[in-house]
Chains A and B, each alone.
Chain A
Amino acid sequence: MELSDNLLMRQRRSRWAAWAAAGMWRFARAKPLGAAGGVIVVLLAMVAVFATAVAPYDPVETHYTHRVEAPSGAFLLGTDHFGRDVFSRVIYGARTSLFVAVLSVALGASLGGLLGLYSGFRGGRMDFVLQRLVDVVLAFPLLVLALAVMAGLGTSLRNVIIAMAIVLAPRAARVLRSSALAVREAEYVKAARAVGCSGARQLFVHVLPNCLAPYIVFSTISVGVVIIAEASLSFLGLGVPPPDPSWGSMLAQEGYKLMRSAPWVSIGPGIALSLAVFGVNLLGDAVRDVWDPRLRQ
């Protein structure tokens, strides 16, 4: 009995794996560029997760005898003015960047998305009020609002995540509201209503699953937006505070002054940042084409 159960489980798992693999293969065939972006993103995520194993040094460890040293065998990308290994800092920077991106998108897109979904599904006065609120928040340029929130909350990793979530939430609300509006009028939702499903059941069982595609597309694209915004805030000295490594602050305080004498201090983080954004954009474009052609701008 136990054995057959086990077997069944394993079979089921392998079938699922095969299904996932086939799906990925189809995606890669249809969208080679998107797949390339996906590979870049996965590699960066691996680097971020296993930073302790990949990085040769501690990112905040200072080697006073090796300050502002050019790239060499010991320090692959050279060292900065504190004698910190730039290569290790770039690697840990990936961790900061992706950590902020994943958490703030999860937080902002989910909360904002749920609110938008509910607002679009229910309609009426609440929808009106909520949408006017969204109007107000969307009136701010993205980076300016993020900066204002950072000015109010003070600089810390946690606050960067909060600021980014605040910036993303109204955008997610807009996107999901419009898909909820469309889905609400679909035959199957009307049918659910007709057979007497409760509001919550209609919303979560019938509307929500059918709004997942725009949610996933929005989240993917937002990751790229957050990576740039976090780097920008940190570059301005209002994001992730030193000495924690962030690509943005590495380009700013550390890289800028040394630019002429030691360009390697800024080249490493600059390339890493561009690569990350490039990968996420490629993936995001492909995801959008495949899952939600309507969202194509």
Chain B
Amino acid sequence: MVRYVIRRLLVAVPVLIGVSLVIFGIMRILPGDIAEITMTGGAASATTSDIEHFRKALGLDRPLHEQYLEWVRGVVTLDFGKSLKSGAPIIQDMALRAPLTLEIALLTVLIAILLGLPTGVLSAVRQDTWIDNITRIISISGVALPVLWTGTIVVLVLSTWFDWIPPLGYESIWQSPWTNLQQVFWPALVLGYNFAAIVSRMTRSCMLEVLRQDYIRTAWSKGLRERVVLYRHALINAMLPVVTIIGVQFGTILGGTLIVEQIFVVPGLGSQLVESVQFRDYPMVQTLILLITGAFVLVNILIDVLYAFMDPRIRYE
């Protein structure tokens, strides 16, 4: 098991190097001189010497490979450089904002599992009854309704009928848990509904497949109780694809935080990424994208390990 984990971690290293190269490439090689655009804001107001100065200060005058190595060295030692917008070290901004996004992502997964698993199991066990139909309608809408729209509806309803306004600014969960929870609950619920729908559909179809297996019939004929058959025999085996899809879809959650943070005015990493792109704060943009992608890669490793833990066949492959 330990060997499996180590191997899985090692495989991630070249992927992450590739990812950093892609990000760096997109930010530098594509048309548009960052220094010029930042200084002039599109109009020709800065002098050439200003631009030169700016370029030098950022190290943009040096060869690309040096710039890249410098950036990677910074990332490895957790020194991400400074934001162009605020001038403050990037790590400072991140330390402030990352917890909010992390909370939203974790809460989303939690909501999705709490809502998706039981409804999926219920739907499969009571296949083609009214419970199944209602669950399926709700989950199909969950998949079809874009987060963009459900989020807008939630804000609309909350603000029109409940006079609710999303709390502005940042409160950490340790300082004032209640405000913090208000801040992350709605975005997580919106993302979680979408995600729960996916989990529920997946659970349903996997359960249906597993319930037709011979060993389930054996379990029934042994006279085991329904609960034991369903949870000990069926659900455990139906869980494998469900776990996989949680990993695959985690990227969607991360992308979704960009949207919900914007809708609910949450000052997390997502809204920071959007702001930084609009401001062309490229050191911030490239570091944020690397961090978010790194998180996605890490989650997939965790899922793989969990998978190997649940299914011994994988470990010994």
The answer to whether A143 and B258 have CB atoms under 8 Å apart is yes
Q: Given A142-B255, A144-B289, verify A297-B241 contact (CB < 8 Å).
A: yes
B-side contacts of A256, CB under 8 Å: 152, 263
Q: Does A125 have its Cβ within 8 Å of any Cβ on chain B?
A: no
The answer to whether A277 and B245 have CB atoms under 8 Å apart is no
B-side contacts of A147, CB under 8 Å: 258, 273-274, 277, 289
Q: Given A140-B296, A236-B262, verify A273-B148 contact (CB < 8 Å).
A: yes
Q: Does A270 have its Cβ within 8 Å of any Cβ on chain B?
A: yes
The answer to whether A259 and B159 have CB atoms under 8 Å apart is yes
The answer to whether B251 and A142 have CB atoms under 8 Å apart is yes
**Main SS of chain B's interface residues?**
helix
Q: For chain A, residues 257 to 271, give those with C-beta under 8 angstroms from any C-beta of chain B.
A: 259-260, 263, 266, 270
The answer to whether A297 and B255 have CB atoms under 8 Å apart is no
Q: Does B26 have its Cβ within 8 Å of any Cβ on chain A?
A: yes
CA distance A296 to B204 in the complex (A): 13
CA distance A57 to B14 in the complex (A): 54
Q: Does A286 have its Cβ within 8 Å of any Cβ on chain B?
A: no
For B, the interface residue count at a CB cutoff of 8 angstroms equals 54
B-side contacts of A142, CB under 8 Å: 251-252, 255
Q: Does B254 have its Cβ within 8 Å of any Cβ on chain A?
A: yes
Q: Does B180 have its Cβ within 8 Å of any Cβ on chain A?
A: no
- Chain B residue at minimum C-beta to C-beta distance from A151: B277
Q: Does A195 have its Cβ within 8 Å of any Cβ on chain B?
A: no
The answer to whether A150 and B277 have CB atoms under 8 Å apart is yes
The answer to whether A144 and B144 have CB atoms under 8 Å apart is no
CA distance A136 to B25 in the complex (A): 13
The answer to whether A277 and B19 have CB atoms under 8 Å apart is no
Chain A, residues 76-111, CB within 8 Å of chain B (1/0): the string is: 000000000000000000000000000000000000
A-side contacts of B169, CB under 8 Å: none
Q: Does A139 have its Cβ within 8 Å of any Cβ on chain B?
A: yes
Q: Does A232 have its Cβ within 8 Å of any Cβ on chain B?
A: yes
A-side contacts of B156, CB under 8 Å: 259-260, 263, 266
CA distance A278 to B147 in the complex (A): 13
CA distance A270 to B153 in the complex (A): 9
CA distance A235 to B160 in the complex (A): 22
Cβ distance B296 to chain A, nearest Cβ, rounded Å = 5
- Chain A residue at minimum C-beta to C-beta distance from B265: A256
CA distance A231 to B149 in the complex (A): 10
Contact count band on A: 35 or more
Chain A, residues 266-297, CB within 8 Å of chain B (1/0): the string is: 10001001100110010000000000000011
The answer to whether B160 and A260 have CB atoms under 8 Å apart is yes
The answer to whether A148 and B274 have CB atoms under 8 Å apart is no
The answer to whether A251 and B148 have CB atoms under 8 Å apart is yes
Contact of B274 among A136, A231, A236 (CB under 8 A): A236
- Chain A residue at minimum C-beta to C-beta distance from B263: A256
The answer to whether B149 and A132 have CB atoms under 8 Å apart is no
CA distance A251 to B159 in the complex (A): 16
Q: Does B155 have its Cβ within 8 Å of any Cβ on chain A?
A: yes
CA distance A135 to B300 in the complex (A): 12
Q: Does B145 have its Cβ within 8 Å of any Cβ on chain A?
A: yes
List 28 A-B residue pairs with CB atoms under 8 Å apart, sorted by A's residue number: A135-B18, A136-B15, A137-B22, A139-B15, A139-B18, A139-B296, A140-B19, A144-B273, A144-B292, A144-B293, A147-B277, A148-B26, A148-B289, A149-B26, A151-B280, A152-B30, A231-B148, A232-B259, A236-B259, A236-B262, A236-B274, A248-B148, A251-B152, A259-B159, A263-B156, A266-B152, A274-B149, A277-B146
Task: Tell me the A residues contacting B by CB distance below 8 Å.
Answer: 132-133, 135-137, 139-144, 147-154, 228, 231-232, 235-238, 248, 251-252, 255-256, 259-260, 263, 266, 270, 273-274, 277-278, 281, 296-297
